[in-house]
Amino acid sequence: MPFDPVILWTDALVYLLAAAAVTMGWYIRRHSHLLTPWRRITHSASGMAAFTILVFFILIGLLDTIHFRPALDNNTGNRDEKVYSVEVLSLFDIIATPLRTRVEKTYSAPLSAHLYAKETVELPSGSQTREFTRLMFGGAHLEDPETQRIGDITKRSIAGAGWGLLAWGVIVIALGMLLARQHHTNFLHMQLTIWRGMTETPWYAILITLGLIFILLGMIIALSSHYYVLGTDKVGQDVLYQSLKSIRTGLVIGTLTTLIMLPFALLLGIAAGYFRGWVDDVIQYTYTTLSSIPSVLLIAAAVLMMQVYIETHPEMFDTVSARADLRLLFLCIILGITSWTGLCRLLRGETLKLREMEYIQAAHAFAVSHWRIISRHILPNLMHIVLIAIVMDFSGLVLAEAVLSYVGVGVDPSMISFGTMINAARLEMAREPMVWWTLLAAFGFMFILVLSANLFADAVQNAFNPRIRTLSERASKSSSRAGNMPQANTSSSSRTISSTAPEIKETAHS
């Protein structure tokens, strides 16, 4: 075997999470009342555009999760035994090999052909001068960077954008044909409905986002073969590569932390609200105490203790990655343990309200056991809050990681994350001329990730919160007002009427 698969702790949990997401999706598909709000999410233009971007991030994150150790050429005498590299690589690393392996001496600006600092160079004549040396890889193919560079960059980016557009066009046509077949209409008519924004799912928004992503991707791919698109850092590593690697760290922190926090919040919140009495008192005092300790201090203390433990037991880890990964996992756990209080309080309040509902009283009248009441009556009616909280917390946690790494109690320094990137770039801001690109790249990527997560969270909240009836419904209505919609669509829209009508009644009633 040319490689040895490695499953780190966080990998296992990410696989578990992905499996859970798939099962949940399958379960929801079979239950119409669960499907309705999800379908409402797919009707939100901003939500779906944000989701498209998120999918790209998640894709990169997942590729970066599949870890293995490549086999080394065995040149010691023993032929049977394979020797694997101590370096753990991911599938993403293999795809991004050129980005990963090209290393310069030190800083270079984005798309530059020279180093950012003057270097003493020995001339063939024996004399020494100080000059900006040419980069080893960036723009190395140019004869005379001064005159050719701009033209070359323009040419390459246009070509890249062209390829991106082409790929996008293929997707548009494929999607158009698929939808046309689904709705039993011809291709041109389908394209017309898509671009006039008359489909129930805002395909135009998804396609425009996709188009932008593809153009950008094409340009980056075309340029990165000969340039450093986002420059290099202090030790000459490609900043683009670092930014892309940071995505996994951010996603893992954002998702695993909620996964760890959820059992605490659910169990304690429901128990407090449902049983009342001394159970409620104990749980309330616990979370009040916990949330009155400054969380950064608590996290810092826990991380430092754990760090000492890891450093005194080096024999537990066979690779550097394993060590860094364990630290990441512990960071998630610590963040999870300190951040369940908010959701717990919310769930306690909602349970207090639900336990007085008449259907719970009716269940009591049937002598249904406590456990069944909690699992069948209370939990399903809390799920919308849980879901909204998870999505809203995600972006907060990504930002929290950056702050903690900046303070120095975040992830392992060998692990690339937005926090470590910002921390490294911090000092260089004071330099003259300023090194701005590391910080900007980290900020930019984090900003896009958090913004799209927030936009998606908004869409989720709108769909799941029955009290929010915004004008966006009006907009979606106007799109389906056109009478010439394909048949399949009208039938599905009539389904949505029948499902929304009782809710309106309910709100009017309450």
Partner 1 sequence: MTPLLEIKQLRTILHTGSEPVRAVDGLGLKIFKGETFALLGESGCGKSMTALSIMRLLPETAEIIEGHIKINGNDLLLLPETAMRKIRGKRISMIFQEPMLSLNPVMTIASQIEEVLRQHFDLHATEIQKRILDILQQVGIPDASRRMADYPFQFSGGMKQRVMIAMALAGQPELLIADEPTTALDVTIQAQVLDLMRELQQRSHMAILLITHDLGVVAEMAHRVAVMYAGEIIETATREDFFRQPAHPYSQKLFAALPTKSKRNQGLAVISGNVPPLSQLFRGCRFADRCDHAWELCRQTAPEWIEITPGHQVKCHLFSESEELNHPVQISAQTTALANSDKVAPHHAAALLHVSDLKIHFPIHKGLLKHIVGYIKAVDGVSLTIAAGKTLALVGESGCGKTTVGKGICQLIPPTTGSVQLDGAELTGLARNQLRKKRAEFQIIFQDPYSSLNPRMRIIDIIEEGMNALDSDHRDKIKPDYQLSSNRTENEIDELLQRVGLPAEAKWRYPHEFSGGQRQRIAIARALAVNPKLLICDEPTSALDVSVQAQILNLLRTLQQSLGLAYLFITHNIAVVEYLADEVAVMYLGKIVEQGHVDEVLNTPKHPYTQALLSSVPVIEATSKRKSIHLKSELPSPANTPSGCYFHPRCPYVMPICHEIYPDKSVFSPTHSAHCYLYAQNQNSV
Which residues in this chain contact partner 1 in the complex, by CB under 8 A? 32-33, 357-359, 361-369, 372, 376-377, 380-381, 469, 471, 473-474, 476-477, 480, 493-494, 496-506, 508-510
* Strands 67-72 vs 3-6: parallel, antiparallel or unpaired: antiparallel
Round to whole Å and give the CA distance between 300 and 126.
54
Q: Which residue's CB is nearer to partner 1, number 155 or number 353?
A: 353
CB of 437 to partner 1, least distance (A): 46
Quick one: which of 390, 441, 367, 415 has its CA closest to 64? 415
CB of 464 to partner 1, least distance (A): 13
Q: Does residue 418 contact residue 249 with C-beta atoms inside 8 Å?
A: yes
Q: Which residue's CB is nearer to partner 1, number 27 or number 187?
A: 27
CB of 204 to partner 1, least distance (A): 18
Q: Which residue's CB is nearer to partner 1, number 26 or number 366?
A: 366
**Token pair recorded at residue 190:** 């389908």
CB of 279 to partner 1, least distance (A): 16
Q: Which residue's CB is nearer to partner 1, number 232 or number 462?
A: 462
First to last CA, the chain: 65
Q: Which residue's CB is nearer to partner 1, number 58 or number 379?
A: 379
Q: Which residue's CB is nearer to partner 1, number 293 or number 488?
A: 488
Q: Does residue 28 contact residue 37 with C-beta atoms inside 8 Å?
A: no
Alpha helices in 64-199 (DSSP H): 91-95, 97-101, 145-182, 187-195
CB of 254 to partner 1, least distance (A): 28
CB of 291 to partner 1, least distance (A): 21
Q: How many CA atoms lie within 13 A of 400 on its CB side?
A: 23
Q: Does residue 387 contact residue 456 with C-beta atoms inside 8 Å?
A: no
What does R_g of the chain's alpha carbons equal in angstroms?
27
CB of 198 to partner 1, least distance (A): 12
Q: Which residue's CB is nearer to partner 1, number 133 or number 500?
A: 500
SS3 string, 163-207, reads HHHHHHHHHHHHHHHHHHHHCCCCHHHHHHHHHCCCCCCCHHHHH
